[in-house]
Amino acid sequence: MSTAADRRAAFKALHQKGRAFLMPNPFDIGTARILDGLRFDALATSSAGYAWTRGVRDAEGLIGRDDALAHAAEIISATSLPVNGDLENGFGDSPDDVVATVKGAIEVGLAGCSIEDYSQDPKHPYYDLDLAVERIKAAVDAKNALAADFVLTARSEGPVHSEHELAETIKRLNAFAAAGADCVYAPQLKNREQIAKVLEAVEAPINILAGRKNFHLTRKELGDMGVARVSIGAGLAKIAFDAFIAAAEDMKLGGAFGCFDRAETMPEGLTDFQSFLKAGL
C-alpha cells in the first residue's frame, strides 16, 4: 500500500495543463474499490454522495468536519490511489476553521482537498472576496507547513449565466491562484465558450465538473482545450440513487418486479474488482 506522501506526490504530478485526468467520486468503500479496480488515476470524495448515504441533504451543515474526514479515511483505506477530499467550505466561516480542516485532511491521508467560497448562509451565500481569499491564504500556509505537496483546490461556486457573473468567477479564480491555490475550480462552468474564457484568463490548473446532465464535451476535447483535471462530483452517486429509487417505485406502484431485469449480478469487465474482493483488500 502506498504511503500518504507517495499519494500526495503522485496526485500533484497529475495536475498538468491539458492532461485532463479523470477523478471520479465514490461514495462508500464498495464504490471506491470498483473505481480502484478500473484503474483511474485518482479518486475524490463527494460531499453530496456521502450526505445521501446518511439520508441528509448536502451543503446544509448536516455533515460535520469529523464525519467528512472519517468518511475520507474509509475511502483512503479502500484504494491505493490518491484521494482528494470534497470538504465543502472547510466546515466554518473563519480562516481558522479552514486551517483545522486542512490539517485534518492531511492527517487522515488525503492527497488534496477542495475548499468552497459557498457560505451555506441563504442570505449571503458566497463569502466576500477578501474573506474568501483570506481563507485560501490560511489554508495554503497550513498545508505548506505540514505537507507542501498537498494539492489545495479553491472553488468559486457562484453562477456564470451572464458575462458579469463569468467575469466575477474569473476574478475569484485568479485571486485564489495568487493566494497559492494549486488548482482552481468553478463547478458552474459548463459550455465550451465559458471554459475557454476561463482557461485563457487563469494560469492555474483548472478542474472541470463533467458529471452532470447535458455535459457533452469529451475528455479529449477538454484536454485539447487545456483542462488539467476532470471530476465527476455527485454524478455517479446520483445515477446509483436514481436507479435505486426507480426500482423501489416500480415495486411499490406497479406491484411487479420487472425492474430487476435491468440488473446484472456483476457488470462485465470488473474481474479486477472481484479479485480485490477475494484478496480482502
List pLDDT tens digits, range 79-91: 999 999 999 999 9
266 has pLDDT over 70: no
Residue at grid coordinates 461556486: 157
Contact 26, 34 (CB under 8 A): yes
CA nearest neighbour of 202 among 156, 163, 159, 162: 156
For residue 69, give the C-alpha cell.
474526514
Whole-angstrom CA distances from 269 to 5, 196, 210 are 31, 35, 23
Q: So what's the pLDDT on residue 218?
A: 98
Domains and CATH numbers, the chain: 7-234 (3.20.20.60)
Contact 163, 27 (CB under 8 A): no
Q: So what's the pLDDT on residue 2?
A: 85
273 has pLDDT over 90: no
CA angle 108, 110, 116 (to 5 degrees): 110
Q: How far apart are CA 168 and CA 177, in angstroms?
A: 14
CA angle 161, 162, 166 (to 5 degrees): 85
> Rg of the Cα trace of the chain?
19
List pLDDT tens digits, range 159-194: 999 999 999 999 999 999 999 999 999 999 999 999
- Residue by residue, DSSP assigns the chain as ---HHHHHHHHHHH--TTT-EEE----SHHHHHHHHHTT-S-EE--HHHHHHHTTS-SSSS-S-HHHHHHHHHHHHHT-SS-EEEE-TT-SSSSHHHHHHHHHHHHHHT-SEEEEESB-S-TTS-B--HHHHHHHHHHHHHHHHHH-TTSEEEEE--S--SSHHHHHHHHHHHHHHHHTT-SEEE-TT--SHHHHHHHHHH--S-EEEE--STT----HHHHHHHT--EEE-TTHHHHHHHHHHHHHHHIIIII---GGGGG--SS-TT-HHHHHHHHHT-
Q: How far apart are CA 128 and CA 139, in angstroms?
A: 17
CB atoms < 10 A from the CB of 132, how many? 25
Whole-prediction pTM value?
0.93
Return all residues near 20 (Cβ < 8 A) that are at least 6 apart: 208, 219, 220, 222, 223, 227, 228, 229, 230
Q: Residue 46: phi, psi to the nearest 5?
A: -125, 115
The one-letter amino acid at 10:
A
List pLDDT tens digits, range 17-41: 999 999 999 999 999 999 999 999 9
Biggest CA–CA distance in the chain, Å, is 60
How confident is the prediction for the chain on average, in pLDDT? 94
Q: Which of 51-65, 85-99, 105-119, 264-278 has the lowest mean pLDDT?
A: 264-278
